[in-house]
Amino acid sequence: MRNVGSFITVLSNGNVLSPQNLGQRDLLLAGGMIADITDRISPCAQIHVERIDVEGCYVVPGFIDAHVHLIGAGGEGGVTSRTPELMLGQLIRAGVTTVVGCLGVDGTSRHLTALLAKARALEEEGITSHIYTGAYQVPTPTITGSVRNDLILIDKVIGCGEIAISDHRSSQPTKEEMQKLAAEARLGGILSGKAGVLHLHVGNGERRLAMLFDIVRETEIPISQLTPTHLNRNTALLDEGIRFGRAGGMIDITTSLEPTPDNERVISASEAVHYCIAAGVPIENITMSSDANGSMPVFDEAGRLRSLRVAGIDSLHGALKRVAAEGLPLSDALKLITWNPSKALRLQPRKGTLAVGSDADIVVLDDRLDIQYVFAKGQCLMERGRLRARSAFEHEA
């Protein structure tokens, strides 16, 4: 249901992290944007303004989750293991106000047109949504017949992905195929004024990021065009990610990947972030995403499925809390899910920051970093920890 709140809101006395620490400030939200950030915004008798006192809280940019299976994914355990669709309330509870949807391993029974419709629904319901065209396999599915045309002709398409490499579930694409795909994404991005990234699912295979280093070395395609994810699968892969990040690439850590008894090689998102920073990757080159509603299968040495679970979108906020608790200043931790993905996806200056003129996408965190308020394009979608908006047919929790 569409939420109709106040058109003008003042968030007063919060500690504003833009994500830079601006200190205690008032924010004026009007027309879906941030109209002012200043010491004190005085009441105006002529205009109805909703004033919310958030003293003692952090006021931060809405989170950007750049890898979410909005219509579900998975299926590695057969058709009963296809994962479910994500609903608005789940995104809001997780503080996510900008989301990028993608297909996954199953490019047969999942369709980009369904993903596009879902993204449009979420936009109508109040948040900001984009999608990647494609799925794991190469040649990859598209809506119009080519990656380039999808980028140019379809508003919500901002890149191509998730294309699988170094994984037994990939289509085993050749380097030449990947070069062509990266070129398509780049040209489509240039001609549409979008990021046009090639977003890569990297599996447990020993080739790891070798193909990406080859593409950067052998073609004119800049490293910023390639955004590999799931790099915290194992230490050897993360070490290659560190090399990629130090060379100027953006590296993405998956927050729903957690070490489990049957998969001890995984490095938690927080540990991976600290490890990358200690190894010299600029924090500006690291992002985190949830992989929400993707399946998290574990295969044995022979390639047999051992276990399967569904990734949660709340892992993004959980990882933020943990990264901060483990010693990263909150303003830096926030960059991983606000400023940095916004830069990688060319969503600045409207997204990923709190500045005059940027969209009023805001999360208010209490002193324990729990989410109290969520605003998306100026609308209050969560108030004192309670949802004010849900998708149609979404059950009240």
Q: How far apart are the C-alpha atoms of 172 and 187, rounded to whole Å?
A: 24
Q: Which one is catalytic: 26, 106, 291, 359?
A: 291
Tell me the one-letter amino acid at 338: T
Q: Is 26 a catalytic residue?
A: no
Q: How far apart are the C-alpha atoms of 98 and 240, rounded to whole Å?
A: 29
As measured in angstroms, the least distance from the Cβ of 93 to Zn ion is: 23
**Nearer Cβ to Zn ion (190/236):** 236
As measured in angstroms, the least distance from the Cβ of 12 to Zn ion is: 42
**Nearer Cβ to Zn ion (148/201):** 201
Q: How far apart are the C-alpha atoms of 369 and 17, rounded to whole Å?
A: 13
**Nearer Cβ to Zn ion (75/126):** 75
**Nearer Cβ to Zn ion (26/162):** 162
Residues forming contacts to Zn ion in the complex (CB under 5 A) are: 162, 201
CB-nearest residue to Zn ion: 201
As measured in angstroms, the least distance from the Cβ of 254 to Zn ion is: 8
Q: How far apart are the C-alpha atoms of 363 and 184, rounded to whole Å?
A: 36
Query: Which residue has 């109508």 as its token pair?
Result: 124
* All residues at 6 or more sequence positions from 332 whose CB lies less than 8 Å from its CB, including other chains: 19, 283
Dihedral through CA 366, CA 335, CA 152, CA 358, nearest 10? 60
As measured in angstroms, the least distance from the Cβ of 201 to Zn ion is: 3
As measured in angstroms, the least distance from the Cβ of 123 to Zn ion is: 23
**Nearer Cβ to Zn ion (149/293):** 293
Catalytic sites, residue numbers: 291
